[in-house]
Amino acid sequence: MKLNELRDNEGATKNRMRVGRGPGSGKGKMGGRGIKGQNSRSGVAIKSYEGGQMPLYMRLPKRGFNKPNRLEFAVVNLGLIEKFIGLGKIDASQPITEDVLISTGVVRRKLDGIRVLAKGDITSKVTIEVTGASKPAIDAVEKAGGSLKVADVLPKPTKAGKVNA
C-alpha cells in the first residue's frame, strides 16, 4: 500500500446537500421547507414547540433549588501550595494569606474568598490564613507542624443590598 492509494471507506464521506439550487438537485424551489407558513420563513426557530400541546419540558416536574446568594470560592489544593514553596515563589516562613496566593499566581482571583482543599501533600511548616478550608486540609497542615486559620465568612449582599444570614 502506498500513500497515494489511501482512500476512505465507501460511504464514509458525503457531499453536503446544497438547498435551493434548481429542480434537478432534488431540493430546489422551496428547499425542502414546504409551501408558506412560519417554518418556511427564515429566522424561525420553534424549539420545543409541539403544535399547541403542552411541551415536554413544561409537563415534567421541576426539582432542586439554586440559592441566589450562595458564596463562590476560589479553590486551591495543598499540593499546589507546596509546589510553589518548592519553586521559591512562596516564602514558607511568612504567613500565606489570600493576597499572597493571588500575587504569586496560585489563584487567579479571590471571588468570595479562597478555600483550601487537601489534595496533594504538604511537608513545609506553614501558616495559612484563608476564608475556608476542608477538615482534612486543616489536619494535614497541622500534621506538618503548621497552622491553618479560617476567617469568618460574611454572606454576600443580595440585589436589594441586604445581607442574608
Q: Per-residue confidence at 43, pLDDT binned at 50, 70, 90?
A: confident
Q: Where is pLDDT greater, at 161 or 19?
A: 19
High-pLDDT (> 90) share of the chain, %? 53
What mean pLDDT comes out for the span 30-53? 86
Classify residue 147 as exposed, middle or buried by CB count within 10 Å of its CB (0-12, 13-18, 19+). middle
pLDDT score for 156: 62
Neighbour order of strands in the sheet with 127-130: 96-97, 127-130, 147-150
pLDDT at residue 154 is higher than 70: no
pLDDT score for 21: 92
Domains by residue range for the chain, with CATH = 19-47 (no CATH), 74-150 (3.100.10.10)
Q: Per-residue confidence at 165, pLDDT binned at 50, 70, 90?
A: low
pTM: 0.57
pLDDT score for 134: 92
Q: d(Cα 114, Cα 128) in Å, to the nearest integer?
A: 11
